[in-house]
Structure 1
Amino acid sequence: MDEQPPVPFTESMDVYSMRQADKEMWLLKGMRKLTAWHQERCTEYARFLYGSRVSLDDVEQIEQLPYLPTSIFKRFELKSVADVDIPKLKSVQSSSTSSGVPSRIFVDESTSIRQKKSVQLIFDSYLGTRRRPYIIFDAMETARGKNSMSARGAAIMSLMGYASKFYFVMDIQDGQLVLNEERLSEAVQAAKAAGDFIAYGFTYILYQAHEKLQGMSLSFEGFGNQTFLIHSGGWKKLQSLAVDKEIFNQTISSVWTVSPNQVIDFYGLVEQTGVIYPDCPYGNKHVPYYADVIIREPHTLQTLQPGETGLLQLMNLLPLAGPNHSVITDDLGKIIHIDDCPCGRKGKAFRFNGRAPKAEIRGCGDVYAEESL
């Protein structure tokens, strides 16, 4: 039994500096080792590999690596560690779907360290490293959770390393989120004193909150190009309101009189916590060298070429507590660039195109996405 998992990344190396061909050699070696790691430690995963007749000795390309459907994490608690051996074992839960059952992904201390460092390395490329006031368009309760946390709470916490001070500017009242104008005013004054700030909100919550901000007498002007408003999840309801990404970015940025490029959407899954995909200024989502995105035809699951839309398969080298290192989703997307995005980042760049038809309705938020402010 190999007792050492693969090292996912080198902290001194830019996560988008490796060309796709070189990355695939790095990733294939690590993913084979990580798959064997989980095969040795997770009985259910070993049974899956045996039943699928996948032999790691025969895997010569990334596309040949085995993957699990994200739905399987709703039905089984897949762990590669024992609870008694890992006293700090935690879980992150997705929002419930139409089935009423959320995915449950386990995280041990080693995985958590890898995930936090990964998020930092990715966000550094977009946000820089300077600490600024952090305005959170959510309630403090969302980010609490000792042994379990929602995906939305995890997203909030992922940006705490960039905060000089943080401000939760919403409260829960009668089961709904409402703006706390006193804390919002305090946060805005602190941001003005600093010159810039970062903010996060679940997509639908952030949009509704900014519709409210437009009618306030409080001044939201005077911020520089290091102000970033970040959001994730929850496009379905906005699309029903005919709000696309261009309208969204313009609505949010106009409140603060900053560029629409300073409004950053990022895609991510609870099953792949630690690897996020923010938009670059050209609207593309980039893949770090210790992860990959493969597009598969929805019916045959054959790999598709750049420019073709299909199901997103995601993989990365981070997870040690469970075999969620390679999953196929119900999300649609397509590869836009390989090594040649105008922003200069190497590797694959893709676009997220929404949920596949007849897929379970789910998102990375939770019940508040369906409530008004």
Structure 2
Amino acid sequence: MTVPYHLAQAEKEQLLLEKLNELTAWHKMNCEPYRRMLEKSKLQISANHIEEIPYLPVQLFKLMDLKSVPQEEIVKVLTSSGTTGQQVSKIYLDKETSIVQTKTLVEVMKPILGGKRLPMIILDTKSVLKDRKSFSARGAGILGFSNFGRKHFYALNDDMTLDVEGLQTYLKEYEGQRILLFGFTFMIWQYIYKKIRDKDIALHFANSVLIHGGGWKKLKDEAVDARTFNRLLQEQLGIQEVHNYYGMVEQVGSIFVECSEGYLHAPSYADVIIRDTITFKPVAVGEQGLIQVVSELPKSYPGHSLLTEDLGTVHGIDDCPCGWKGKYFSVAGRIPKAELRGCSDTFQGGGQG
């Protein structure tokens, strides 16, 4: 596999286009509902540019069961996080897709975490992993990232209270070593940072690196942006290095990680395209629009090209001060009251740019 951030955009797009076209043909042949949608929308199957790859709105995975392998080959079902009563996306993984996504995640995180497993504190509760065959987005994230750690310690008890004593013991045991912290943005804010701050608990995560992902909506309600979040965690907990990532259960394994300059980057096996919210045509660098994500990983379900409900901006290509190549971007959050137009309308907009 190529080093994740060393390919210039033009070269990467050429390689990616070939793989994405193969996946479109594969899913068309093996997923009946996907084939029907392609035929109905009369989109070209073999694209000449990644912006022409047909895409599905992520909403579809809440409404339909979409898979491109026989049921007996499914080893894992992932579900998106949703509040009670909400429909959740169901993503079907076979062994091959599951293995590929794990391997790719390792490659993508290597520039930040290195090749050695680090002592790891998971800023969550172990109960998220109860059912090994069916995972929520949180469970899938924990499972994926736990491959980077050893001596895993869960910071929260099952009732979401903080295991202060356990944490203090763990931090003392690995004092002086680099520790990996992993969790979801809102959980860290609500159940770790606030509890430690309000109870004035003495905890110091000195030589540690925090990887976190997940929505910012609830934090934005409290006027907390990424910079504030990083600063407060450093002041209160002593965490020096923080990397956010953007990803979703609907395109599992496609992780866009934050570089040292605070931008999200598209690795060599995936990319982002920003589309106008009305016309769905690709917009220029610097303009905000809907984020489309493409990835060469999803083979067991047609998730290789998806239109999200998130707004974002590409800030540049191949010239990020951090030295990583490709597109670098930021995410502004969900479309207000995100309900895209009907699936067929959205699909019709696909690949016309």
TM-score, normalisation: structure 1: 0.87
Offset, 1:346: 0.5
For structure 1, which runs of at least 5 residues remain unmatched after alignment? Answer: 1-9, 362-373
Partners of 1:236 and 1:360 lie apart in 2 by 16
- Post-superposition shift, 1:267? 0.9
| Mapping for residues 25-40 of structure 1, pairs under 5 Å | 25-40=14-29
Q: Give, in angstroms, the shift of residue 145 of structure 1.
A: 2.3
**Residue 210 of structure 1 pairs with residue 196 of structure 2:** no
Q: What residue in structure 2 maps to residue 4 of structure 1?
A: none
Q: How much has 1:162 moved relative to structure 2?
A: 1.8
**Does the CA contact (< 8 Å) of 1:133 and 1:187 recur in 2?**
no
Displacement of 1:191 after TM fit?
Answer: 2.9
1:357 and 1:117, CA in 2 relative to 1: closer, same or farther beyond 3 A? same
Written as runs of structure 1 = structure 2, the 5 A alignment for 1:245-264 is 245-259=226-240, 262-264=241-243
1:296 aligns with 2:284: no
**3-state DSSP class of the match of 1:22?**
helix
Offset, 1:258: 4.0
Give the total of aligned pairs.
338
The question of 1:280 aligning with 2:296 is answered: no
Whether 2:314 is the aligned partner of 1:335: answer yes
Cα distance in 1 between the residues matched to 2:339 and 2:45? 31
Pick one of 194, 197, 203 that aligns with 2:179: 197
The match for 1:368 is none
1:54 alignment partner in structure 2: 43
- What residue is the counterpart of 2:164 in the other structure? 181
Q: Counterpart of 2:346?
A: none
Partner-residue secondary structure (3-state), 1:138: strand
From 77, 81, 85, the equivalent of 1:91 is: 77
Q: Which residue of 2 aligns with 1:17?
A: 6
Q: How far apart are residue 245 of structure 1 and its match?
A: 1.2
* C-alpha contact 1:94 1:270 (8 A) present in aligned 2: yes
Amino acid at match of 1:89: V
1:285-330 CA-to-partner distances (Å, cap 9, x unmatched) read 1101111100000111011010000000001001111001110011
What SS class does the counterpart of residue 179 from structure 1 fall into? coil
Letter in 2 for 1:65: I
SS in 2 for 1:332: strand
Q: Identify which range, 244-253 or 104-113, moves more after superposition.
A: 244-253
Shift, 1:219, TM fit: 4.4
Q: Counterparts of 1:1-373 in structure 2 under 5 Å?
A: 10=1, 13-57=2-46, 59-84=47-72, 86=73, 88-96=74-82, 100-173=86-159, 177-192=160-175, 195-208=177-190, 209-214=192-197, 215-220=199-204, 223-224=206-207, 227-259=208-240, 262-359=241-338
Q: Is the 8 A contact 1:137 1:206 kept in 2?
A: yes
3-state SS of paired residue (2:36):
helix
C-alpha contact (below 8 Å) 1:132/1:164 kept by paired residues: yes
- RMSD value, Cα: 1.7
Distance 2:220 2:174 in 1: 31
Contact 2:317 2:326 survives alignment (8 Å): yes
Q: Distance in 2 between matches of 1:279 and 1:188?
A: 26
Equivalent position SS for 2:315:
strand
1:357/1:153 CA distance change after superposition, 3 Å: same
CA distance in 1, matches of 2:132, 2:201: 38
Q: What amino acid does structure 1 have at the position aligned with 2:263?
A: N
Task: Provide the C-alpha distance between the structure 2 equivalents of 1:98 and 1:312, rounded to a whole number of angstroms.
Answer: 26
Distance 2:273 2:104 in 1: 20
SS at match of 2:128: helix
Kept in 2, the 8 Å contact 1:132–1:191? The answer is: no
Shift of 1:125: 1.6
- State how far apart, in whole Å, the 1-side matches of 2:83 and 2:39 are: 30
**2:325 counterpart SS class:** coil
Q: Distance in 1 between matches of 2:291 and 2:143?
A: 25
Distance 1:45 1:21 in 2: 29
In structure 1, what residue type is equivalent to 2:196?
L
Which amino acid in structure 1 is aligned with residue 127 of structure 2? E
Q: Contact 1:97–1:360 at 8 Å: present in 2 too?
A: no
**SS of aligned partner of 2:158:** strand
Where 1:37 maps in the other structure, the secondary structure is helix
The ranges of structure 1 where at least 4 consecutive aligned residues each deviate by more than 3 angstroms after the TM superposition are 214-219
Counterpart residue identity of residue 334, structure 2: R
Give the whole-Å Cα distance in 1 for the aligned partners of 2:305 and 2:201: 49
The 3 A distance-change label for structure 1 pair 98 and 332 is farther
Q: Deviations over 1:248-278 (max 9, x none)?
A: 101112234343xx11111101111101112
Say if 2:168 and 2:203, in contact at 8 Å, map to a contact too: no
